[in-house]
Amino acid sequence: MKNTFEKAKEIFNYPFFKLIRMAHEVHIENFDGQRVQISGILSVKTGGCSEDCAYCAQSIRNGSKFPKQPMLSLETVVAAAKEAKDRGANRFCMSTSGRCLSSEMEFDEICKMIGKVKSLGMETCVTLGMVSEEQAVRLKQSGLDYYNHNVDTSPDFYGKIVSTHSIDDRIRTITVVQNAGINICSGGIVGIGETNDDRIKMLVLLANLKVPPRCVPINKLVKIPGTRVDDSHPIDDFDFVRLIALARILMPRSYVKIAAGRNTFADGIQALCIFAGANALFSSEKLLTVDNVKDGTDKNLFARLDIQLEQLSNV
């Protein structure tokens, strides 16, 4: 039976402690409640994107004018993956800017990066924009475990933040990647002008995919001067916790990840998120173009909460 917006909204609006207690029960039925999965992330090709996503500093259509940078070398990427592994990450994510990769040479380089990172004993993840069926098969053959392709927001609100592609384009790419046997990592970004209803609809969309995402990252907008949403109202901290709880209830077997903006949350809010079902985090000090938590911060938090790091899975 498909999830409905009406039922999801009812759950989202439960009394706060009832909601997070319910989410916690779902979580411990499917995961170890004292473990989190840690990922490293690196922008391997930055800036110069032709798309007009309102929140993104890498778009040439926004006013932030983030400089275009060439693709990083294989050696640089592998060194960054090793550093992430030393910090406890068992998954490493590699991101490129743009609608899609601009050449076969770039795609070949990405495949080499995937193979090298995989050889370190880590899970691999990339976000490359749109890919073809043939490219998805090649990514799988290269050893790719996860493909990140966020739906960003609700279908209703999507056209207000992006005009150069549609949410249906995003879903088509997700389908192509899943058909190739690759796990999908797909979530959204909050605080870009959307409502709680939009946030709920986004999660319902993800939960109702033929195969729900294996990982659901929830990003809190980090405002960057020059982007078209740098004056938007931030999400309330407790609403963010509610969103984490709803994601856990709607997608009980998915990893729910607190992604960008985590460095703006007090430790108590992060603890509530973990209790409500968040069990994946980024460890890198930089999340593409924005800051993340400082080195050592998570180690201190995890010690205080008796949280342990998840070891490499068999996925």
Per-residue pLDDT reduced to its tens digit, 194-214: 999 999 999 999 999 999 999
What was the pLDDT predicted at 98?
Answer: 79
Report which of 284, 315, 312, 314 is spatially closest to residue 121, judged by C-alpha positions: 312
**pLDDT at residue number 260:** 85
The sign of the CA dihedral 190, 38, 276, 296 is negative
Among 22-36, 91-105, 151-165, which is the least confidently predicted range?
91-105
259 occurs within a structural domain:
yes
Structure confidence at residue 283 (pLDDT): 79
Which of the four pLDDT bands, split at 50, 70 and 90, describes residue 51? confident
Cα distance between the two ends of the chain: 26
Q: Is the pLDDT of residue 284 over 70?
A: no
Q: Is residue 314 in some structural domain?
A: no
- pLDDT band with cut points at 50, 70 and 90 for residue 136: very high
Look at residue 315 in the predicted model and tell me its pLDDT. Answer: 41
Residue 211: inside a domain? yes
Output the average pLDDT for the chain: 90
Q: Quick one: CA dihedral 19, 25, 28, 34, positive or negative?
A: positive
CATH label of the domain that carries residue 248: 3.20.20.70
Q: What is the mean pLDDT of residues 156-176?
A: 94
pLDDT at 87: 87
> What does pTM read for this prediction?
0.93
Task: Decide if pLDDT at 76 tops 90.
Answer: yes
Query: Average pLDDT, stretch 245-270?
Result: 95
Number of domain units in the chain = 1
Q: Which domain holds residue 126?
A: 5-309
Read off the pLDDT of each residue in 216-234 and give the average, rounded to a whole number. Answer: 84
Chain centre to alpha carbon of residue 311? 19
Distance CA 232, CA 244 (A): 21
The answer to whether residue 315 sits within a structural domain is: no
The reported pLDDT for the residue numbered 19 is 98
- Residue 307 has a pLDDT of 95
What DSSP designation does 263 have? G
- What percent of the chain has a predicted confidence (pLDDT) above 90? 73
